Amino acid sequence: MACFFRRSVALQIKRDAVVEEVVAGRGVIHFRLNKLILAQKLLEQLHSEPDGFGVKSDLLRHLQGGRTLVEFSSPNIAKKFHAGHLRSTIIGNFIANLKKSLGKDVIRVNYLGDWGMQFGLLGAGFERFGSQEKLKTRPLEHLFEVYVQVNREAESDESVRSAAAEFYRRLVQREDQALELWRQFREITVDEYKRIYQRLGVDFDHFSGESFHDGQTQNVLEELKTKRLLKTTEKGTGVVDLSATGDMSSYATLVRSDGTSLYITRDVAAALDRKQRFGFDEMIYVTDKSQTVHFQQLFHILSFMGHQWAERYSHTHTHTHTHTHSVPTYQMCHHVAFGLVQGMSTRRGEVVFLEDVLEEARSRMINNMRQSRSERRSDFKGPLISDYKFDWDKVLQSQGDTGVFLQYTHARLCSLLRRHASESYSCRDVSPLTDSRSVSVLQHLLRYDEVLLQSANDLQPRHLVNFLMTLSHLVASAHRELPVKGSPAAAAQARLCLFSAVRSVLANGMRILGITPVDKM
């Protein structure tokens, strides 16, 4: 019966200039498209507006416009910039780039961990055994040394813990000397990070931090009290009941018994401040999955306070044969969680500074460019939520599906186009591109907007990474089998047009991933 139905449907589908043949198969219906029209339409579009290809598709029209705030990277001052922060930086940068390419107004925020009891420890530690000289010559390393040492001593020495609590009290009360030392820690660290971000090619519109919102937490607590959401426990802490039945089976603590705020209190204040200042339509937090519960609590608290923009809504669409209709989008807050990075160390031992990562990467890449090894896989080819075993040899291979392979493919295409730069070519006659190798490349390019839609829907780079890897493999085969040099003029021109189109899409996709395409290697 099903087989008869498929044959019946296949017979009713009208053949036209685009669809040459419709065949009912086992469980599927096959469409054979006109290869010449495919090549003409696609290459014409890519040649006339290479930067707009894919991103201006009707498929993505419902995603255009509006303002997106992305909070990512967010390292802690005076603590090591670990691999998780590096991963957050790369993923957050990808999300911000993707949203911008789709026509969003994007605000990139780096929310620094620059407040809390850790600064009581750091301040007390620095007053005991810190060095202004070392702070000038190697700031991050020295602050971390102080932090590790004071933590070690605090475990066994009550006087150190008391000194830390006293320093934090001075900081909260805005005592000049304590505040000046804290400000010095913050400025030194931010300057150092900005230099490192520059090396990574990552920009931020705002360097914010917990300290900026600490003064706003009192207003948050007052509002929670007014709305009867803040309850005091027997221990004297202030909590918000998050349970569905009101039985306190699930709750979030927003104020300690001594009246000081917590990380989540400052996050509530930060979210409210950002909404007022930036008027975002959606806010995306990019952190590792250990903070999943924290963000669930944050969004619930904001929602309980009456802020509907903190609730998560899914995009829903209805389809007709000509248009995709979008149900109006609501403001959204959501958390993009990624797996933990395990087993990362450097020549300095377990302390991982981003500078070490970059230097290690640089030296290994130079070495890799001199010698080829076995195939490896790319970090972001799988789901972000999976934990990731860090392996220098695995990440920095020049062979196989890696970022270097994309760079190599792009550079090779640039080299080909440079060699034939004196030859003027047009995309008017694409009849030589109906062979199976050319068609496989063209069909793959046709999927670019669909891949961008998948990436935008779940904010995962794997769809785009896999698309670009496959494109690079396809064009490598095409490069071997479809020579430009020595071919008839018509074939040479059409192939140059195809290779130029692939280079454009590859470069655009790489930029969204945060990779700056190189012209030579």
**For 71-95, how does the pLDDT look when each residue is reduced to its tens digit (9 = 90+)?**
999 988 876 666 778 889 999 999 9
Q: What is the pLDDT of residue 487?
A: 93
**CA atoms of 28 and 6, how far apart (whole Å):** 8
pLDDT, residue 520, reads 87
Say whether 463 is catalytic. no
Structure-model confidence comparison of residues 27 and 467, the more confident one:
467
- Is the pLDDT confidence value at 325 over 50? no
Please give the average per-residue pLDDT across 306-316, as a whole number.
Answer: 68
The predicted pLDDT at position 116 comes to 82
pLDDT for 397? 52
Do 404 and 412 meet the contact criterion of CB atoms below 8 Å apart? no
- pLDDT value for 361: 60
Q: What is the token pair recorded at 45? A: 């579009």
What is the dotted CATH code of the domain comprising 67-225+266-338?
3.40.50.620
**Residue 109 predicted with pLDDT over 70:** yes
* Residues 230, 105: Cα–Cα separation, whole Å: 36
Q: What is the pLDDT of residue 203?
A: 94
Give yes or no: 82 in active site.
yes
CATH 3.40.50.620 domain position(s) in the chain: 67-225+266-338
Give the residue with greater pLDDT, 467 vs 322.
Answer: 467
Determine which of 142-156, 164-178, 370-384 has the lowest per-residue pLDDT on average: 370-384
Dump pLDDT digits (tens) for 40-77: 999 999 988 999 999 999 999 999 899 999 999 998 88
Percent of the chain scoring above 90 in pLDDT: 55
Q: In angstroms, rounded to a whole number, what is the distance separating the alpha carbons of residues 466 and 21?
A: 30
Q: Which whole number is the average pLDDT over 286-310?
A: 93
pLDDT given at position 327: 41
Find the catalytic residue in 82, 142, 213, 463.
82
Q: Is 75 left (phi over 0), alpha (psi -120 to 50) or beta?
A: beta
Tens-place pLDDT, residues 413-456: 999 999 998 877 778 899 999 999 999 999 999 999 999 999 99
**How many Å separate Cα 199 from the centre of its chain?**
17
- What pLDDT digit, counting tens, does each position of 367-425 carry? 655 554 433 345 556 666 666 555 555 555 545 567 788 999 999 999 999 999 887 77
User: What sign does the CA torsion over 493, 499, 501, 503 have?
Assistant: negative
Q: Name the strand (E) or helix (H) holding 105.
A: strand 105-112
Q: Strand 105-112 to strand 206-209: parallel, antiparallel, or no bridges (unpaired)?
A: parallel
Q: What is residue 393's predicted lDDT score, i.e. its pLDDT?
A: 58
Intervals of CATH 1.10.730.10 along the chain: 50-63+401-513
Which one is catalytic: 35, 80, 85, 463?
85
Residue-wise pLDDT tens digits, 235-275: 999 999 999 888 889 999 999 888 888 899 999 999 999 99
> Is the confidence at residue 144, as pLDDT, over 80?
yes
Give me the catalytic one of 47, 56, 79, 420.
79
Rg (CA), the chain: 28
Question: CA 230, CA 487: separation in Å to the nearest integer?
Answer: 77
**Which tens digit of pLDDT belongs to each residue from 462-487?**
999 999 999 999 999 999 999 999 99
Average pLDDT score, the chain: 83
What's the confidence (pLDDT) of residue 242? 93
pLDDT of residue 324: 42
Question: What pLDDT score does 317 carry?
Answer: 37
Q: Between 179 and 370, where is the model more confident? A: 179
Tell me how crowded residue 329 is: count the other CB atoms within 10 A of its CB. Answer: 16
Tell me the helices (H) and strands (E) count for the chain, helix number first. 19, 14
What does the block give as tokens for 284?
A: 């995306």
For 18, 162, 226, 246, the CA distances from 222, given in Å and listed in that order, are: 65, 30, 6, 21
**Range from 266-275, 332-341, 342-351 carrying the lowest mean pLDDT:** 342-351
**pTM, rounded to two decimals:** 0.83
How do residues 204-217 score in pLDDT, each as one tens digit? 999 999 999 988 99
Query: Active-site residue 79, yes or no?
Result: yes
Q: How confident is the model at residue 339 (pLDDT cuts 50, 70, 90)?
A: confident
CATH superfamily of 50-63+401-513: Isoleucyl-tRNA Synthetase; Domain 1 (1.10.730.10)
**pLDDT (mean) for 324-351:** 59
Query: pLDDT band at residue 363, thresholds of 50, 70 and 90?
Result: low
Looking at the chain, the whole-number percentage of residues with pLDDT higher than 70 is 78
H or E stretch at 364 = helix 354-370
pLDDT recorded at residue 332: 85
Q: Give the residue-averaged pLDDT of 350-355.
A: 52
Q: What is the mean pLDDT of residues 503-510?
A: 97
